[in-house]
Amino acid sequence: MKWKITARYLISVLSIVFIVIFVNTFILIGMLFYQQTRGIDEVSSDSGETFTREFNKYFSLENGQPVVSDEGLEALHAFGGWLQILDKNGQVLSSALAPNNVPTHYSPIELVHKYKYMDDEFNTYFIGEFESYSYLIAVPNSKEERAVFMVDAESILSYATKSLIAIIIVDLLIAMLVGLLFSTVLTKPVSYLIDRISQLKTRNFSVQETKRPGIYKPVFANLNDVSKTLQTHEEERLKLENMRDEWISNVSHDLKTPLASIQGYAELLRDLDVSQIERLEYAEVIERQSIYMKDLLDDFNLTMRLRNQDMPLTLQETRLESFVREIVIDLLNDPQFGKYEISFTSASPDLKWNIDRHLMKRAILNFVYNALIHNDETVAVTIRVTADSISIEDNGKGIAERDLEQIFERYYRGTNTENIRGTGLGMAISRDIVEAHDGSVSLSSKVGIGTAVEIRLSE
């Protein structure tokens, strides 16, 4: 995979270089062609050659001799040159604006020499023709210089072709070298990225540190964050699967006993020899077991909804002191718990929380029920409202340290809860209710001293 990416990158770089060379060559040839066909006349419209060719319009013949008009003399003066008119033998017939030391006769070789090269006074010569006469226009210190080249077209074409091929080869080699270096830097992290994504696909969520990530550093950082998140979700998923399996197992187990009782007593009711009193007793057992099964299923449904955050809360601003006091009064008025020592204290009469009164009452009652039914009748339970929490404390048996971490697990019963009836979901439900309010529950206990539960809600 790494070499495939590198090869594709190199091909892309070489393609770009080849296209650039081709386009540049095409533009260069086009510019040269344009200059040859149109560019010289346009660029050189004010050159000495053009001025000299067009200067013959200022000539006229008088008595068979060429004469320059006044307009021509002004143009010649403005151009900064001087003029000599020659006959067909090279003899100077007349001059205009010429220095005194210029020749009065020119041989053909002298004319060729002066046309091709400057003279010692740095005059540049241009030659024109009018009728059967010739004329020289010389420009001192002209900005134009004449250069003579001897060109072998075939040699130039061959040399240009070889040079172009050499340039293309060298450019492609340089591009390949540079592309290889850059591709090593750029594609190596990409290869790591592909490997990391493949690992995530195979559910390998381990966090890995990449050396020299280069410009992909933020991508690797985000991948590590994704790995952490997926790892957390994976752990949560496994935990939920274990809980689900445990729930199914425990619910099946807890339902078997009441179902067996219901089935057994239902079979006894069919016995014609059973007295009316026994029938009532059997019916009472069936009813009690049915109520237990209903409570178990209700608790199971509630804890599932709380766990999946599918339980809408009806929040009301509630003064905790009066709210908790009413719960304590109801407990004391309940014949089942009236014999217990239950007390209430408040250090914050104005403390208010936004709570679902029905669910929070159930959570508090579950904590109190656990304190009462898991201890002797001599246990004393104290419910307190402090400045920022509600606490339920007892002086009962306490909970072994090995049981503390699992006390909120569904269906978990500690080592001191033998033969205690209940669905086993009370503590888990209470914890989930508090957490649904964005709160937290902390529990501390010592064997032989007692247990304390503290409820806090975030502000």
Beta strands in 241-351 (DSSP E): 315-319, 341-346
Element (H, E) at 298: helix 276-307
Tell me the per-residue pLDDT of 73-87, one tens digit each, with 9 for 90 and over.
898 888 888 998 988
Structure confidence at residue 281 (pLDDT): 85
Tell me the per-residue pLDDT of 389-427, one tens digit each, with 9 for 90 and over.
999 999 988 888 877 777 776 544 443 444 444 556 778
Q: Are 218-306 and 313-457 the same fold in CATH?
A: no
Q: Which residues pair with 245 in a beta bridge?
A: none
Q: Please, which pLDDT band fits residue 278 given cuts at 50, 70 and 90?
A: confident
Q: Please, which pLDDT band fits residue 312 given cuts at 50, 70 and 90?
A: confident
The chain-wide mean pLDDT, for the chain, equals 79
For the sheet with 341-346, list strands across it: 341-346, 380-385, 390-394, 450-457, 439-446
Closest Cα to residue 385, out of 427, 344, 436? Answer: 344
- How many Å separate Cα 335 from the centre of its chain? 64
pLDDT higher than threshold 90 for residue 382: yes
**Which listed CATH number (1.10.8.640, 3.40.190.10, 1.10.287.130, 3.40.50.300) goes with 218-306?**
1.10.287.130
Question: What whole-number distance in Å separates Cα of residue 196 and Cα of residue 73?
Answer: 87
Averaged over 381-385, what is the pLDDT? 92
Closest Cα to residue 66, out of 54, 58, 76, 78? Answer: 58
**Which listed CATH number (3.40.920.10, 3.10.20.30, 3.30.565.10, 3.90.1150.10) goes with 313-457?**
3.30.565.10
Tell me the per-residue pLDDT of 108-128, one tens digit each, with 9 for 90 and over.
888 888 888 777 777 888 888
Listed by start position, the domains of the chain span 2-43+151-192, 48-140, 218-306, 313-457
Question: What whole-number distance in Å separates Cα of residue 275 and Cα of residue 255?
Answer: 28
Percent of the chain beyond pLDDT 90?
Answer: 7
69 with 60: CB under 8 angstroms?
A: yes
Q: Which residues contact 248 (CB under 8 A, 6 or more apart)?
A: none
Closest Cα to residue 407, out of 439, 361, 453? Answer: 453
Averaged over 26-33, what is the pLDDT? 71
